Copies of this chain bind each other. A is one copy, B any other.
């Protein structure tokens, strides 16, 4: 298909497609004449993924490039590839790490029987966790670490639903795309539904009594 049809099928304006091409986020089409390139379904799929990363995930061009590099790696198991993509879509905040928060993360790993977490900054995910606990400690909430275990308990139910959602897709590329969209959209859905659950539970526990 030509760029106009690619735009129509994807809902992405031609100017944006050309921008993605210039930035190397979309591979060039096959030239059929000096001024005309031909695109196929692989371009359409890639375009959808780029759009999901930028619009849904709010990722920068540099972060999108990192994700695509992980997606395009030809080696490793699907599990490892999903792990690499997950790293790319998990950027920790630029917060100074509190050594006690690092210990909180390490103790959490030990309680879960996970491999020892010597350097939390080796993975973006553990780095993100240590950053958040450092922020909590910086405003006097040292005990926030006690929520890690009940959080994991609830998140296992959620993660199982997530993995079942992506496992229904057939091809490796579709699975990876579903994982990216599901992780990023899911972050926001979780934020919102958590607040709805707060309202429900807080009505039960604190009660809706008039101010004394």
CB closest chain-B residue, reference A139: B52
Chain A residues in contact with chain B, CB under 8 A? 11, 48, 51-52, 55-56, 58, 75-80, 82-83, 86, 90, 93, 95, 114, 125-126, 128-129, 131-133, 135-136, 138-141, 143-144, 146-148, 150-165, 167, 178, 181-183, 185-203, 205-211
Complex CA distance for A193 and B146, rounded to whole angstroms: 13
Number of copies of chain A assembled together = 2
A154 with B156: CB separation less than 8 A: yes
Look across to chain B and name the residue whose beta carbon is closest to the beta carbon of A79.
Answer: B208
- A205's partner among B51, B163, B187, B192 (CB-CB below 8 A) is B163
Closest residue on chain B to residue A80 by CB atoms? B208
* Chain B minimum-CB-distance residue to A144: B185
Q: How far is the CB of A198 from chain B (nearest CB, A)?
A: 5
Residues of B near A157 (CB, < 8 A) are: 150, 153-154, 157
Contacts A141-B181, A158-B155, A185-B135 known; A192 to B77 CB distance under 8 Å?
no
A196 proximity list for chain B (CB < 8 A) = 114, 125-126, 129, 152
Q: Which of A148, A193, A207, A208 gathers the greatest number of chain B CB atoms within 10 Å?
A: A193
For A151, A183, A211, the residue with the greatest tally of chain B CB atoms inside 10 Å of its CB is A151
